[in-house]
């Protein structure tokens, strides 16, 4: 049986997890959906200030390439939020009205405030 895994949040931790899961996705052992509220794939947030003052470029901040992940079979959904978790049905309800099914999900820890 193929595991259906949903990763909620597409920051640096999620980018690393997705990279580690790519062999399972490519071999058909896992179906992976990544949900990110931002319109861009994971990027290095530490370097954003350098981008603001012209010391680096936006492409240098990229930690993941959404198009490449999609080509590898990852279901990448950017610019959407999780509205509800339905554990009984094993699915999430997203802000765009879609509901990806899952056999498990992972939400990277939120940064301390």
Whether 112 maps to a domain, the answer reads no
Query: What local confidence, expressed as pLDDT, does residue 107 receive?
Result: 62
Q: How confident is the model at residue 26 (pLDDT cuts 50, 70, 90)?
A: very high
Neighbours of 74 (CB within 10 A): 22
Whether 100 maps to a domain, the answer reads yes
Query: What local confidence, expressed as pLDDT, does residue 81 receive?
Result: 95
Whether 95 maps to a domain, the answer reads yes
- Whether the pLDDT of residue 39 is over 80: the answer is yes
* CA 108 to the chain's CA centroid: 10
Helical H runs in 6-111? 12-26, 48-52, 58-61, 66-71
Which range of residues forms the domain containing residue 70?
A: 3-106
User: What are the residues facing 75 on neighbouring strands?
Assistant: 33
Query: pLDDT digits over 43-54, tens only?
Result: 888 888 888 899
Query: pLDDT digits over 10-24, tens only?
Result: 999 999 999 999 999
Whether 113 maps to a domain, the answer reads no
How far apart (Å, rounded) are the C-alpha atoms in residues 87 and 78?
Answer: 22
* Sign, Cα dihedral of 38, 44, 46, 52: negative
Whether 111 maps to a domain, the answer reads no
What's the CATH code of the domain at 97? 3.50.50.60
Whether 80 maps to a domain, the answer reads yes
Q: Which residue has 């010391």 as its token pair?
A: 55
Query: pLDDT digits over 53-107, tens only?
Result: 999 888 888 899 999 999 999 999 999 999 998 888 888 899 999 998 787 665 6
Whether 101 maps to a domain, the answer reads yes
Q: Tokens for 42, please give them.
A: 């994971």
Q: How confident is the model at residue 110 (pLDDT cuts 50, 70, 90)?
A: low
- Whether the pLDDT of residue 1 is over 80: the answer is no
């Amino acid at each position: 049986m193929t595991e259906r895994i949903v990763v909620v949040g597409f920051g640096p931790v999620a980018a690393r997890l997705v990279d580690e899961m790519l062999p399972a996705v490519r071999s058909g052992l896992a179906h992976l959906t990544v949900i990110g509220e931002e319109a861009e794939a994971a990027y290095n947030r530490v370097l954003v200030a350098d981008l603001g003052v012209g010391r680096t470029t936006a492409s240098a901040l990229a930690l993941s390439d959404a198009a490449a992940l999609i080509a590898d079979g990852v279901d990448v959904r950017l610019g959407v939020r999780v509205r509800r978790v339905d554990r009984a049905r094993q699915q999430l309800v997203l802000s765009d009205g879609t509901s990806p099914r899952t056999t498990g999900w992972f939400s990277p820890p939120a940064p301390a405030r």
